[in-house]
Amino acid sequence: MKVWLQACRVNSLAISSIGVMVGTAVAFRAGHFDSVRFLLAWLGSVLIQAGTNLTNVYYNYKAASASADPASFDPRGSSSVLRLGLLTPAQVRRGGLLSFACGIACGLLLAWLCGGTILWLGLPAVAAGYFYAGPPIRYGYLALGVVSVFVFMGPVMVGGAYYVQALSFSAGAIAAAIPIGLVAAGIMHTNDLRDYDTDVLHGKRTLATLFGRRGAAYALAVMDAAAFLVIAAAVMGGLLPWPALLVLLAVPQALAQVRMVFRETDAKHLHVVWLRGVKLHMQFGLLLIVGLLASAALHL
């Protein structure tokens, strides 16, 4: 089991969990909550994320990419399960497809409970997860990975979690979704920064390789800053309650991440930047959830 969790990049699975919980918290504040729908949405999102990660590991292993480069080997990384022979490529591929299939099954159950609209969000998410590294599209090699993460980890995931509760969409849900998507996109961006040298070597295009190291660092700073500014604007505009400003407690984590990304170029240190991004997403998301639930409890 430990090997499979490593292959699935278990740390990244929290990203999808946070997105679903934020969307559910917005719905709860509006008076909508169904535990079965929440569990199905959460499980489906995590399974699709696991399928995406396993598929990415498989196809990156097969291709000449950063994860197949001897210089970038990290025994703690997801690709090491293949390079150390802990799992076979066929096992990882089957695991990815099985995860996608189970995620689709959760989506079909939600469609039965909530109507088919949710499939218009879920099925594109599955396709985006597979074709990030899978042929024939492989859009992750075309500098579209960060954009995809923003869309599917933000508006699609948060908005979808809200929809299965309220059976509608709302401006408040989108206001909460955009910053969650931005911070998640920052995680993907720092992953690309970590792999910058090997991506350049193998001709893989990412926002980091297009912008260059300095430009990519500024891009991360913009994403992090925009996440906080969107929350502030949404509160001032009445789309989110004032306790949502609890996310400002995560500003020190964002500043530490940005300072480090401007300072470091070594892959090992940039891995720490990536970890800081994961922690920032966790802190930001949990603080937003607490703020939304507190506003519901206090009838704000």
pLDDT at residue 189 is higher than 90? yes
pLDDT at residue 67 is higher than 50? no
Task: Tell me how many domains the chain contains.
Answer: 1
pLDDT at residue 284 is higher than 60? yes
Between 63 and 232, where is the model more confident?
Answer: 232
Residue 6 is predicted with a pLDDT of 77
Taking the model in full, what pTM does it have? 0.92
Averaged pLDDT, 265-269: 85
pLDDT at residue 70 is higher than 70? no
pLDDT at residue 190 is higher than 90? yes
pLDDT at residue 197 is higher than 70? yes
HEC assignment per residue over the chain: CHHHHHHCCHHHHHHHHHHHHHHHHHHHHCCCCCHHHHHHHHHHHHHHHHHHHHHHHHHHHHCCCHHHCHHHCCCCCCCHHHHCCCCCHHHHHHHHHHHHHHHHHHHHHHHHHHCHHHHHHHHHHHHHHHHCCCCCCCHHHECCHHHHHHHHHHHHHHHHHHHHHHCCCCHHHHHHHHHHHHHHHHHHHHHHHHCHHHHHHHCCECHHHHHHHHHHHHHHHHHHHHHHHHHHHHHHCCCCCHHHHHHHHHHHHHHHHHHHHHHCCCHHHHHHHHHHHHHHHHHHHHHHHHHHHHHHHCCC
pLDDT at residue 291 is higher than 80? yes
Residue 64 is predicted with a pLDDT of 53
Residue 266 is predicted with a pLDDT of 85
Percent of the chain with pLDDT over 90: 73
Averaged pLDDT, 198-214: 88
pLDDT at residue 223 is higher than 60? yes
Q: Which domain holds residue 286?
A: 2-297
Residue 37 is predicted with a pLDDT of 98
